[in-house]
Amino acid sequence: MATEVEMWSTAKQADGMFSLDENLTEANRPYADDDDELIEAEVNGNWTPQEKALHEARLKAKAKRRLRKSSSRNSTSESFSESGDLAGSDPNSPKGKANTNDRKSRTGKGRGLPKKGGAGGKGVWGAAGMVYEDEEPDVLDPNYDESSQGDTVYAKVVPEVDEKELGKMVNPIVKEYFEHGDTKEVQMLLKELNLGPHKYEFSSVAVSLSLEGKASHRELTSRLLSDLSVKLLSQSDMARAFDKILKELPDLILDTPEAPQMLGQFIARGIADHVLPMSFLDCYKGKVDCEHARVALDRAAVLLSMKRGMVRLDNVWGVGGGLRPVKHLVKEMNLLLKEYLTSGDVSEAGRCLRELEVPHFHHELVYEAIVMVLESKGDTASHMMVKLLQAFWKMGHITVDQMNRGFQRVYDDLPEINLDVPHAHSIMETFVDLCFQESVITKQLRDACPSRGRKRFVSEGDGGVIKN
């Protein structure tokens, strides 16, 4: 054995191989003294078999430690084959140059196979035979190309209407509906708005605006709520809207003193049209503290308790002006004029005339007013009617066309009126002159007044002077 160790120490080193002497020299020093003693014991022939095996194991361990130490120091560690060539290198490449694309481990560990079977690492496609599923393109990806994704479908996203802006968006819709009266157009406009959980507030806004308007507006609002309750709003939404209006009554009466009675009619009409649940009134029994809300609920209860009340509630707001019969309108105007002659309240007469909502039929009021003057006794009625016509003229209730048409109708019917009122011509002339003095009629209309018959002269020589 000593001869073999000596041969290793004196042999010429092969190309690219580490010397075993170098390994032993740079090995850990604590074992060096023991090795010297073992070698000396072997030379003297005193080496036991156990000491010999221990010595050989130490040599092998030192050689392996040296090899691992040198591999970790060199980043381009190379493993050598028995022939001195680089393991895994191209045979045609220059000697000593490692293959940088080699995916085998160069740490001296493992079996020399690629890491993870070639499927690991950054920027690799994966192991052979691996099938990937189609991935949906990410819109937020900075490399996302919209044109390369085929047909693009655009979806319209309507933001939800804020509660503070709801009134500004709904008010024009309701006011336009009062002009055209088309419920389908309102439904179409509401579908374009994303009212979200605040959709019930549309009903409260519509009712509040109609309370400030005319009777025809309230009738249109009742019809609108009836149509919307089937398609857009449920009974619970309607109940929530009317509950909100009941709470707002103290503010509504500041502009509309009759708001509680009107709201009661709305509630009764809504229950009759199945817009509100039948148990709506029962939910408030004994739970209402507001005096105005109690008035509204009592009004609704009275209307619903009337005999055949559910049927009559269709006309709770009356018939629209343009739909009323002519005889009914004439009767209403006669009643208006008689009340005015009794009270002398011009503002009340103007309010009643506006509620009739027949501006195209105001010439009938002028006609009936003149006929009352012709049939009356004394000058009181004449002066009061001139005052009324003058007030209506200034307020714009009666236009020039309606005024001229009313006077002209009296001019045409004067011969028939004269049969019942013998002095109709003289009374008419006096009344026309008074109206002209108060600037109610024009000079042309005054001159168009018919005379009371053949004009008589004093004599032929008077020069055409008319006899008084």
- Mean pLDDT for the chain overall: 77
Domain 163-315 architecture: Alpha Horseshoe (1.25)
- Residue that wins the pLDDT comparison between 57 and 357: 57
Confidence at residue 105, expressed as pLDDT on a 0 to 100 scale? 56
Amino acid at 62: K
Percent of the chain exceeding pLDDT 70 equals 69
Inter-residue contact 290 to 251 (CB < 8 Å) = no
pLDDT band for position 27 (cuts 50, 70, 90): very low
Confidence at residue 320, expressed as pLDDT on a 0 to 100 scale? 56
DSSP state of 319: -
CATH of domain 321-447: 1.25.40.180
| CA distance linking residue 346 with residue 353, whole number of Å | 11
- Residue that wins the pLDDT comparison between 185 and 136: 185
Is it the case that residue 425 has pLDDT exceeding 50?
yes
Is it the case that residue 7 has pLDDT exceeding 80?
no
pLDDT band for position 267 (cuts 50, 70, 90): very high
Residue 401, both tokens: 């066309």
pLDDT band for position 384 (cuts 50, 70, 90): very high
The residue extents of the domains of the chain are 2-73, 163-315, 321-447
Lowest mean pLDDT, pick from 83-92, 212-221, 319-328, 342-351? 83-92
* Global confidence as pTM: 0.47
DSSP 63-113: HHHHHHHHHHH-TT---B-TTSPBTT--TTSPTT---TT--B--SS-SSSP
Confidence at residue 450, expressed as pLDDT on a 0 to 100 scale? 86
Mean pLDDT of 87-92: 49
Mean pLDDT of 67-78: 61
- Residue that wins the pLDDT comparison between 177 and 26: 177
Mean pLDDT of 57-70: 83
Alpha-helix runs per DSSP H in 181-290? 183-192, 201-211, 215-231, 235-247, 249-255, 259-272
| CA distance linking residue 168 with residue 146, whole number of Å | 38
Asked if the domains 163-315 and 321-447 are classified in one and the same CATH topology, the answer is yes
Q: Is the dihedral of CA 110, 114, 116, 121 positive or negative?
A: positive
Top-confidence range, 5-9, 127-131, 156-160, 449-453: 156-160
pLDDT band for position 95 (cuts 50, 70, 90): very low
Confidence at residue 141, expressed as pLDDT on a 0 to 100 scale? 78
Is it the case that residue 385 has pLDDT exceeding 70?
yes
